[in-house]
Amino acid sequence: MNGIYLHVPFCVRKCLYCDFYSVAADDGAMERYCGLLLKELDLVLFSFPSIADISADTVYFGGGTPSILGPQRLRLLLEGIRSRLSLTKSAEVTLEANPGTLREEDFNLLRESGFNRISLGVQSFDPATLVTLGRIHTTAQAREAFGHARKAGFLSTGIDLIFGNPKQETTDWSKDLEEAASLLADHISVYALTPEPGTPIHRATSRGETTLPSDDEVAGMYDMASETFQRAGYRHYEISNFARPGHECRHNQKYWRREGYLGLGPSAHGLLFPEKEAPSGMRTVNPRSLEEYASHIEQGCLPWMESGTRSLSDAWEEFIVFGLRMDDGIMLEEGEKQYGPQPEKLSWAVDQLINSGCLLRDRSHLRMPKKYWFVSNELLLRLV
């Protein structure tokens, strides 16, 4: 374990497309929550004392809207982590933030507290699209937040964008891309809207109250993003992510490379390697409920709804499926060193994709051609 993820389950209000776990914020709940997070970390360290000997090199505050906690609570949380775990001098410390939740001085305080990477949930620069998505900020606030983050001196300032939105035209998306590129953000993530069951946008599309772009139009928007950002000097290093050289998200690469990380907070997932005799690792899942999460911790129990050692076959699947999301692909030799021989069924499925041209293999190096990235989920499901 050399990464830490903290899920902050609070928002001003739920966006119309969001399926991540979050609840309405109030000061009492947020104050209580910060204490619970540190108690959870104490419980983990009590159960797995060897973790205290490992130097973490990434910390990621995700959500929800982590920035809603405010700079003082975030500083205390980061100090609480540092007092319990060793962080490397060059540790990447990321905060997800929404425009409209931080003032200019807040960005400065966060930078002084040790946060060195910030990811702004811009989603779009188009006012109408922001309303459609249920975002709380305006286009002006998005631009202002980006400027404040840059001025505060974060080592990496990134933005998130969403495409394939209700009634979105290609020209609307083109304007978003051009503005994002003109800002010279260090990192840009682009995600196709997925109307998840239970969300207002899913209900609206199911009832025919709004329409989404066609699959072909959405695929075209994805290609447009790739072309625009690569032309602007970005590296398309993962299916949904672009970065200026040296600004790739180190924490997220742990997920794709199947490296260890500790997940804290309700709905958080983790991957630990607590025992040498368990090279396949142990997955942990916290409950998707703040109250259930709190109940476990207040009783002095780890809040793991699920936990268990992965089989070597599972580890191989994850190693290949997650690793093929990156433009670097994977080295099969590395998998063999960690997990032993590749399972026969998985090896057969990989060979089928190689024979069809959907995967490319050069000796032990395996990768997916970028022309298949937009339909990668469909292809990778054949390996599971």
* Amino acid 148: pLDDT: 97
What average pLDDT score do residues 231-256 get?
A: 97
pLDDT at 309 over 90: no
What average pLDDT score do residues 232-239 get?
A: 98
What average pLDDT score do residues 136-165 get?
A: 97
Domain assignments of the chain as residue spans, ordered by start: 3-254, 311-384
List the beta bridge partners of residue 361.
366
- The number of helix segments (H) and strand segments (E) in the chain equals 14, 17
Domain at 3-254, CATH class: alpha beta
| Angle between helix 344-355 and helix 312-323 axes, rounded to 10 deg | 20
What is the amino acid identity at position 302?
A: L
Domain at 311-384, CATH class: mainly alpha
* Amino acid 176: pLDDT: 97
pLDDT band at 24 (very low <50, low <70, confident <90, very high): confident
- In this prediction, what percent of the chain has a pLDDT beyond 90? 86
Name the DSSP class of 139. Answer: H
* Same-fold call for 3-254 versus 311-384: no
pLDDT at 277 over 60: no
Mean pLDDT value across the chain: 94
Q: Which residue has the higher pLDDT, 260 or 16?
A: 260
Q: Which residue has the higher pLDDT, 23 or 82?
A: 82
| DSSP class per residue in 307-358 | EEEPPHHHHHHHHHHHHTTBTT-EEHHHHHHHH-SPPHHHHHHHHHHHHTTS
* Amino acid 129: pLDDT: 95
pTM of the model: 0.95
Q: State pLDDT tens for residues 80-135.
A: 999 999 999 999 999 999 999 999 999 999 999 999 999 999 999 999 999 999 99
pLDDT band at 18 (very low <50, low <70, confident <90, very high): confident
pLDDT band at 146 (very low <50, low <70, confident <90, very high): very high
pLDDT at 210 over 60: yes
User: Is residue 59 within 8 Å of residue 81, measured between CB atoms?
Assistant: yes
* Amino acid 195: pLDDT: 87
Name the DSSP class of 22. Answer: -
pLDDT band at 278 (very low <50, low <70, confident <90, very high): low
pLDDT at 276 over 90: no
Q: Which has the minimum average pLDDT: 274-278, 309-313, 378-382?
A: 274-278
Q: Which residue has the higher pLDDT, 305 or 122?
A: 122
